[in-house]
Structure 1
């Protein structure tokens, strides 16, 4: 790994596989340039010549990720094609290990798929310029100005909001989740339509409720409509209402859910399940905020904020002809995509504590502690059912454990344990023994020569495993002491222990967590 800090103190070089606990604390704004060469350092250094910021350098995606585990960066500048792969497809990894940086991707030619992926991930800018030095300097100035303004905002109120959201069940300190929270807070201050996308169990209704509670309509109702549960013959009367005698069984007039949401928020969950005929009528409602009750001769008005959600790819449905394109355009004034749990594994432990505490409050039970093995297994599982599946697994574990004060892997459903075991065995079989030395590079074996990336990754893995083994021996396997000594978070340590099949000693869990 090559890390070159650049600033008022000159240029230095740090090469290390483990955190340097003596590294000088960061002051001002930190910038990381990830490029195949250092030629862009000089023009970018001129931008920070006043000492307000410092620039560090890494030569590859791998080196950049290693650097981010040791330092937090405000701005990251990445070349689109690096020696170990496209930078655009590593954005989620950078967001997971550093604190919500402004990410700038630059390219001399541009790649459509990479640009689309980068912009969807929320990068500050995707810059295409055959001579990027001057343009990057301009973009960096704008990004620094934005970051300075962001730093001087009233962060106390944002922290209060985040605490409120946590009490509502929106849990997660990962960068990707905090980005969703920040987006939700900003969107809540507007009146535009919102489309929330996410897999089943990612918390779409929780976010819709949070946006409503933070909006100017919080004093009115949030009307939730599960479009998947509406009978096709009753969709229009349920949404628009009906007059007396408008159809068989309509013995009295009935107000629809759209009118009930007047002054408040209308949440259409799983909107992709609506048939095309209903989509057409809903289109006018969204455009004009007017609707025609079944059997009525005159339209009525309803003032509501619209939030829609779907776990289906509506763009693909448009191409297939099962969803109206004009309706999709009107739904997506604002777009919020919630990440699956497998992409924010660092949040799993915090979510597990929240689910445990909620279950104990409801059932009036004494809190149980989690063994390190239990949390490591939770982190290793892919959670296809996302947070909802995690919640059910925790509740089942609490029931299975009975009088045991601590939860162990054996208390989890067997399907989860089997999936994690299969995944681990598959990885071991494909990767080979970790403890074997790097392959010989003797003459005559050129056709079997591994790539530089493979050699580097294997060497790093061997050093990491050796370090962690010694760390556990020094601390007696105590997780808290190991985190303090290594200078990493508990969730990061669990990830590494799980990766190398190591186990820490059960700590005295804090029941207040």
Structure 2
């Protein structure tokens, strides 16, 4: 018998899922609100959580990681009546076990439950502690932890691996972690920057060439594919490869053989391919900009590296690491930071991710020399402008009729309320959001707790969930709150 928590505000869906669970003699608890469901899940520690996307007090995707952090590490099955491709992708990459569209039958739900429990049983039997060589990767947030779990699994395999993520998130570092923990760690790690390859020389660079093969080929040259023999070939930004090269690369992956430019005989190279991209390769396939057969070939395993805005819990450690590294680089004493420096960094969404963070910190260190303390005023001007513009836009937003600043007495006459806006469900959701924001403001500005950890314990939420709530309501920690 397993334990389930079902969170859905549709009584029909709740009843259908519970009937399927009851037929299998499982124990279950139900909730119609996210907050209520989360409290129940933390109390009963379920094996499986059914989580609706659209609930009166919020979006299930925003709470997904919080449910995954519950000590029982439940599998989370997302259910929705109208999920988009983007929401499906977000749910899967944030750790959802499956994504189910409504409506569904009791039979299909019973089959899904059995599959999820079988998977959970197999996983628990195979789980073991792995001492992963992190290659200097900084952070311990739940989203990064899941990424490292995938990297650990990939390191034990010889299958091609595709690493996805935005520009600057550290895809190459994840590839190096896979290499360092794999049986090929003693072999070479060869990096190919596909975005920087000259189309006229790309074949020569990848496959090598013979003397006299073309003008300027004064000697034989070994290509990068041959250099990766018995090691890892890392194709960074593989989506930038020209179509002709994609065709040649596909043959190399299938046969593990290649022919240098100008040569008659083929050569063999025993390498493992790891690719990385910030592009949507599936969308490129639809536009005939990327070969579908090559896509299938390179994604034997797939890893998603989270953006910095989804792992802000790591920002403090990253900042400390980079400051120490940058100060050593410039032969300077390690700089301190003012009380409002980290809150300023947290208020930015970091579209350039880790790479942009390091650049901004380097700019601050150079600007501050020889001052021992860094202040937000020493951050790059473009970043300060964006933060200020965001705050100004927030102040200019019209106040909602259900905002936390407008409290309506239940004794007011009906005409005092005006006409209702939207559905009752929408009004409940707006009211819940307003109450949530009021609570957070009272918590961070009025409570005696001094650290983020203390605030989280008082609120009964994890650190990652706490920061997610701050981002959701566009709140910042006041000066003096330590992390």
TM above 0.5, yes or no, is: yes
Match of 2:163 in 1: 196
Range moving further from structure 2, 260-269 or 342-351: 342-351
Q: Is the 8 A contact 1:483 1:490 kept in 2?
A: yes
Pairing 1:466–2:437 present = no
Deviates more, 1:389-398 or 1:255-264: 389-398
> Is there any run of 5+ residues in structure 1 with no aligned partner, and where?
1-6, 8-28
Match of 1:294 in 2: 261
- 1:500 matches 2:475: yes
**Alignment TM-score, normalising by the size of structure 1:** 0.78
Q: Distance in 1 between matches of 2:348 and 2:413?
A: 40
Query: Aligned ranges for residues 28-427 of structure 1 at < 5 Å?
Result: 31-36=4-9, 37=11, 39=15, 40-41=17-18, 44=21, 56-61=29-34, 63-64=36-37, 75-79=48-52, 82-83=55-56, 90-91=60-61, 93-95=63-65, 98-99=68-69, 101-106=74-79, 113=85, 118-119=91-92, 121-127=94-100, 132=105, 136=109, 139-140=112-113, 142-144=115-117, 146-147=119-120, 150-151=123-124, 155-157=128-130, 160-161=131-132, 164-165=133-134, 168-427=135-394
Q: Is the 8 A contact 1:372 1:503 kept in 2?
A: no
Alpha-carbon shift at residue 205 of structure 1 (Å): 0.8
What CA distance in whole angstroms lies between the structure 2 residues aligned with 1:187 and 1:480?
Answer: 33
Aligned residues: 464
What SS does the aligned partner of 1:242 have?
A: coil
Q: Cα–Cα, structure 1 residues 490 and 438, in superposed 2: closer, same or farther, change >3 Å? A: same
Looking at structure 1, the residues matched to 102 and 281 of structure 2 have their Cα atoms a distance apart, in angstroms, of 33
- Superposition deviation, residue 132 in structure 1: 4.9
Q: Quick check: 2:246–2:291 contact (8 Å CA) kept in 1?
A: yes
What residue ranges of structure 2 are gaps of 5+ in the alignment?
none
More displaced stretch, 37-46 vs 459-468: 37-46
In the alignment, the residues of structure 2 paired with residue 135 and residue 221 of structure 1 have an alpha-carbon distance, to the nearest angstrom, of: 48
Residue 408 of structure 1: how far off its partner (Å): 2.9
1:447 equivalent among 419, 428, 444: 419
The CA distance in 2 between the partners of 1:289 and 1:150, in whole Å, is 33
Closer/same/farther in 2, CA of residues 410 and 483 from structure 1, 3 Å limit: farther
Deviation of 1:63 after TM superposition, in Å, equals: 4.7
In 1: Cα distance, 2:172 partner to 2:298 partner: 16
TM-align CA RMSD: 3.5
3-state DSSP class of the match of 2:306? coil
Instruction: Give the Cα–Cα distance (whole angstroms) in 2 for the partners of residues 357 and 71 of structure 1.
Output: 44
Deviations, residues 56-106 of structure 1 (Å, cap 9, x unaligned): 543134654677799976532124654567x6xx43641256426411134
For residues 207-263 of structure 1, the C-alpha deviation after alignment (integer angstroms, 9 at most, x for no partner) is 111111111111100111111112121111111111111112222111111111111
